[in-house]
């Protein structure tokens, strides 16, 4: 058993050194005792992320080189930014790039579902390929390619927008024929184009918000219709030696909608990698009834006027609101991945984490809320147990694949909370290195003084702040 003393506030005495790092010992304060149990394990974490779909990537490309790199560092760097680990790309279905449309790799009907395809690749994919390459440079390994719709000529309404359904799935017959195989081939070719550019797509989604009809790219699917297509898509990926690409389904508009669709997907459960849902009509608050990993793949304050603060009044755009949203999804609903809608774009709303205004790039505290999670809870981490509570404080703990333990602490109260932390279990986990980081109204993942004392951790967590305590065995300072 080991423990950690974290100093965030209060009088400090008697400096001493642990693992070549100077730390300080604080007089023990009474407080709530929390025990981290490494033997109590929950879901595996795949990561946290965002998208640059619908030509938001093009907006980044219009910045100067210096600001482009600054933007990518803010989003994906684990030392300079949020360290996001999942990038969600949009697979185009539109015949051109007018407005903010995502252009298709087969803009024109090849003549029917059985005709030889006429794919067109511009080496850009609405600048998303470039964003993917920059993300990979910064350590991102999970690329989720998600189609909002099939090309219009494959659908019942002959339009990639305004709903319509893929011709050939149950209840959707078309005079042009059954386009299920042609659409599966189309998606596989998209993956191959990325592979030619040395970018590996790890997850594939074939529909977005199938329960919603919009004036932009959209396609309706019921759960049973999605299953009809997955029965074609799965074997097509395998035949193309792409069985390692996970099939995601189905990115419904809300959590409850996706939960209600699960029974219709039971016949293809073995072909699905990840269940995906958004948070617009309902948010993740309890686990879905599935054996598959579950991601919350799109959430945002779409209409709130831009504000970059951490806490003002608990509003939808506050950074602390999003720190808590992620907590609820990860701890209460057992999600393995959590994505905001857009990483960086122009405009005056909170629909993004980073605002572009001319050549000025401004991060919001929403970004740092994501970073407080993503920098320290890395892909492959396992959520572990916590026993004990503290008034107004939410806590979660994770063990990363490198063995380090990240303890996430959110104090929603207006005053500091004194907490004592003990860590038990594991294969003799014995920390010799510790670091702590805080985000609040005046800090962005800022370094804090850390002390180890008699296997007990005592933390005075500032009011309305999020703190991560990172513990590691060995020498050096965890980062």
Mean pLDDT for the chain overall: 91
What is the distance between the alpha carbons of residues 285 and 295, in angstroms, rounded to a whole number? 13
How far from chain centre, in Å, is Cα 176?
38
Residue 29 in this model has a pLDDT that exceeds 60: no
Residues 24, 449 contacting (CB under 8 angstroms)? yes
20-24, 119-123, 368-372, 441-445: the lowest-pLDDT one: 20-24
Euclidean distance between CA atoms 407 and 478, whole angstroms: 13
Instruction: Give ∠ CA 335-183-228 in degrees, rounded to 5.
Output: 60
Contact, 394 vs 327, CB < 8 A?
A: yes
Mean per-residue pLDDT for 231-250? 98
What angle (nearest 5°) sits at the alpha carbon of residue 26, between those of residues 22 and 29?
150
CB atoms within 10 A of CB 166: 27
Residue 1 has pLDDT above 80, yes or no: no
The shares of helix, strand and coil residues in the chain, as percent rounded to the nearest 5, are 20, 30, 45
Cα dist from 401 to 46, 49, 425, 437, whole Å = 12, 19, 16, 20
Residue 475: pLDDT band (50, 70, 90) is low
CB 461 within 8 A of CB 31: no
Nearest to 227 by CA among 211, 249, 245: 249
Looking at residue 9, its pLDDT comes to 36
10: pLDDT strictly greater than 70: no
Average pLDDT of span 39-45: 98
pLDDT of residue 389: 86
Write down the pLDDT at residue 238.
98
Residue 214: exposed, middle, or buried by beta-carbon count in 10 A (0-12, 13-18, 19+)? middle
Instruction: Please compute the mean of the pLDDT values over residues 77-83 and round it to a whole number.
Output: 98
> Which residues face 360 on adjacent strands?
357
Mean pLDDT of all residues in 127-150: 98
Interhelix angle 223-239/180-196, rounded to 10 degrees, is: 50
Torsion sign over Cα 117, 199, 377, 9: negative
Q: How many helices (H) and strands (E) does the chain have?
A: 8, 24
- Which pLDDT score is estimated for 21? 30
What is the pLDDT, as a whole number, of residue 2? 41
H/E stretch holding 42 reads strand 32-44
User: What angle separates helix 319-327 from helix 365-374, to the nearest 10 degrees?
Assistant: 30
pLDDT tier for residue 6 given thresholds of 50, 70 and 90: very low
Task: Please tell me the predicted confidence (pLDDT) of residue 450.
Answer: 61
In this structure, of 281-295, 343-357, 389-403, the range with the lowest mean pLDDT score is 389-403
Sign of CA dihedral 137, 296, 56, 64: negative
Q: Is the pLDDT of residue 4 over 50?
A: no
Measured distance CA(336)–CA(321) in Å, rounded: 19
pLDDT in tens, 269-282: 999 999 999 999 99
Q: Which of 223, 108, 115, 104 is nearest to 179 (CA)?
A: 115
- List the beta bridge partners of residue 2: 423
- Can you give the pLDDT at residue 455? 67
Q: What is the DSSP letter of 330?
A: I
**How would you classify the pairing of strands 393-399 and 382-387?**
antiparallel
The bridge status of strand 465-472 relative to strand 433-440 is: antiparallel
Residue 164 near residue 148, CB atoms below 8 Å: no
Give 299-350 pLDDT, tens digit per residue: 999 999 999 999 999 999 999 999 999 999 999 999 999 999 999 999 999 9
Name 328's Cβ contacts closer than 8 Å, sequence gap at least 6: 283, 284, 285
DSSP-assigned beta bridge partners for residue 408:
396, 468
Cβ-based neighbours of 313, under 8 Å, separated by 6 or more:
none
Q: What is the mean pLDDT of residues 193-202?
A: 98
Range 462-475 average pLDDT: 86
pLDDT range class, residue 474, cuts 50, 70, 90: low
pLDDT band at residue 472, thresholds of 50, 70 and 90? confident
Are the beta carbons of 43 and 380 closer than 8 angstroms?
no
**pLDDT over 90, % of the chain:** 82
Cβ(3)–Cβ(423) below 8 Å: yes
Is the pLDDT at 25 greater than 80? The verdict is no
pLDDT of residue 465: 97
**Predicted pLDDT at 19:** 33
85 φ/ψ angles, rounded to the nearest 5 degrees: -120, 0
Handedness of CA 232, 163, 204, 153 (dihedral sign): positive
């Amino acid at each position: 058993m080991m423990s950690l003393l974290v100093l965030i506030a209060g009088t400090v005495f008697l400096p001493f050194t642990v693992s070549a790092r100077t730390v300080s010992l604080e007089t023990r304060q009474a407080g709530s005792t929390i025990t981290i149990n490494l033997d109590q394990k929950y879901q595996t974490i795949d990561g946290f992320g965002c998208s640059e779909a619908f030509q938001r990537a093009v907006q980044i490309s219009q910045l100067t080189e210096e600001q482009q790199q600054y933007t990518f560092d803010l989003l994906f760097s684990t030392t300079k930014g949020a360290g996001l680990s999942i990038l969600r790309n949009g697979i185009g279905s539109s015949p051109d790039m007018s407005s903010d449309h995502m252009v298709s790799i087969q803009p024109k009907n090849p003549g029917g579902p059985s005709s030889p395809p006429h794919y067109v690749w511009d080496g850009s994919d609405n600048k998303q390929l470039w964003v993917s390459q920059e993300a990979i440079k910064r350590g991102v390994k999970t690329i989720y390619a998600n189609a909002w719709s099939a090309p219009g000529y494959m659908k019942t309404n002959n339009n990639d927008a305004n709903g319509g359904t893929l011709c050939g799935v149950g209840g959707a017959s078309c005079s042009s024929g059954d386009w299920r195989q042609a659409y599966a081939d189309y998606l596989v070719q998209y993956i191959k184009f990325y592979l030619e550019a040395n970018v590996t797509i790890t997850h594939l989604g074939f529909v977005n918000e199938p329960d919603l009809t919009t004036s932009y790219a959209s396609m309706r699917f019921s759960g049973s219709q999605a299953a009809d297509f997955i029965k074609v898509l799965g074997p097509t990926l395998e035949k193309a030696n792409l069985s390692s690409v996970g099939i995601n389904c189905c990115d419904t508009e809300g959590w409850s909608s996706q939960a209600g669709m699960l029974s219709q997907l039971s016949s293809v459960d073995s072909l699905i990698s990840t269940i995906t849902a958004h948070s617009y009509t309902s948010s993740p608050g309890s686990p879905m009834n599935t054996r598959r990993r579950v991601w919350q793949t799109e959430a945002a304050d779409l209409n709130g006027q831009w504000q970059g603060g951490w806490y003002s009044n608990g509003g939808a755009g506050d950074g602390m609101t999003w720190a808590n949203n992620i907590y609820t999804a990860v701890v209460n609903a057992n999600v393995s991945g959590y994505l905001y809608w857009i990483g960086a774009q122009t405009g005056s709303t909170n629909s993004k984490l980073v605002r572009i205004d001319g050549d000025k790039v401004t991060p919001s505290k929403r970004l740092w809320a994501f970073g407080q999670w993503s920098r320290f809870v890395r892909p492959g981490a396992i959520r572990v147990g916590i026993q004990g509570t503290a008034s107004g404080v939410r806590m979660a703990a994770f063990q990363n694949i490198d063995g380090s333990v990240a303890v996430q602490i959110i104090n929603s109260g207006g005053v500091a909370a004194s907490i004592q932390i003990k860590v038990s279990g594991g294969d003799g986990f014995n920390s010799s290195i510790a670091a702590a980081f805080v985000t609040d109204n005046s800090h962005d993942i800022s370094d804090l003084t850390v002390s180890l004392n008699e296997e007990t951790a005592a933390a005075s967590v500032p009011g309305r702040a999020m703190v991560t305590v990172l513990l590691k065995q060995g020498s050096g300072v965890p980062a």
